[in-house]
Amino acid sequence: MKSGQETAIPAQSAGLEYDRFALNLKTIIGVFGVAAVATVGDAIWYTYGVPHTIVAGLVHGALLLTAVGAVLGAASGRVLKGLPIGALAGIGAAASYYVLVAVVDRRTYGSAIPAAWVIMWLILAAFEGWWLRAPHRRTWTAIAGRGVAAAVTGGVAFYLVMNILWGPPSAGGRNYALQFFAWAFAWAPGLFALTTHRDFTRRGSGP
């Protein structure tokens, strides 16, 4: 006859697996939501010829990253608290882009874009671990681990589709369905890195 403790272990394991599944499902839905917002933003930018001004860039970054903040907030059960985190990260990333354009690479679609993308993930990791999860904050080591994981994986993914997203359109015009899936591919690794249970700072650690 099984003891109460032996019976509780499978139940706890099943509950943990369900929590992981629910978290992954939230993140998957969130990735497609962010991709949709990003695609709509691109459509507005290209269709109406929005000028590449600092104000436009800051507004675009704030609105787009507000959606990202919602995803991070949903993963921790604090959607509303995640919104301003995303907006601030978007403003910070956009500001870093314009600084990089001014002092490093003056091309609109040059190296400042992937650099700002990496900075964005580091800002999001800091806000997610320190502000969103307060008072149960992550350690700075854990925050750094997640930030680097998100920046590296997200940076590689973004680089692979950057020409699809912002390169010259084909003769038939820009394909926004392709744009949507390219954005989903670009956003997915970083968002999963920030929402996973896994501790990137411990070798061989499980979720």
* Cβ-contact 103, 153 below 8 angstroms: no
**Number of structural domains found in the chain:** 1
Distances (CA, A) of 160 to 65, 103, 105, 154, 157: 21, 25, 20, 10, 5
Separation of alpha carbons 125 and 2, rounded Å: 44
Q: Is residue 204 part of a domain?
A: no
Reported as a pLDDT band with limits 50, 70 and 90, residue 52 is confident
Q: Is residue 49 part of a domain?
A: yes
Q: Is residue 207 part of a domain?
A: no
Separation of alpha carbons 207 and 81, rounded Å: 24
User: For position 176, what pLDDT does the model report?
Assistant: 94
122 burial via Cβ count (<10 Å: 0-12, 13-18, 19+): buried
Separation of alpha carbons 46 and 60, rounded Å: 13
Of the two residues 100 and 13, the one the predictor is more confident about is 100
**Per-position DSSP letters for 84-104, written without gaps between them:** HHHHHHHHHHHHHHHHHHHHT
- Does the pLDDT at position 200 exceed 90? no
Which of 2-11, 20-29, 125-134 bottoms out in mean pLDDT, i.e. has the lowest?
Answer: 2-11
Separation of alpha carbons 193 and 149, rounded Å: 6
Residue 160 CB contacts under 8 Å (≥ 6 apart), including other chains: 185
- Does the pLDDT at position 152 exceed 60? yes
What is the 8-class DSSP label of residue 130? I
Q: Is residue 206 part of a domain?
A: no
User: For position 19, what pLDDT does the model report?
Assistant: 57
User: For position 82, what pLDDT does the model report?
Assistant: 96
Distances (CA, A) of 128 to 44, 123, 198: 29, 9, 15
**Pick from 93, 144, 145: which is nearest to 118 by CA?**
93
Q: Is residue 6 part of a domain?
A: no
Separation of alpha carbons 189 and 197, rounded Å: 14
Q: Is residue 25 part of a domain?
A: yes
**Per-position DSSP letters for 157-195, written without gaps between them:** HHHHHHHHHHSPPBTTB--HHHHHHHHHHHHHHHHHHHH
Segment 54-82, tens digit of pLDDT: 999 999 999 999 999 999 999 989 999 99
Here the tokens at position 81 are 């608290």
Q: Is residue 9 part of a domain?
A: no
Q: Is residue 201 part of a domain?
A: no
User: For position 108, what pLDDT does the model report?
Assistant: 73
User: For position 126, what pLDDT does the model report?
Assistant: 96
Range(s) of the domain holding residue 78: 14-195
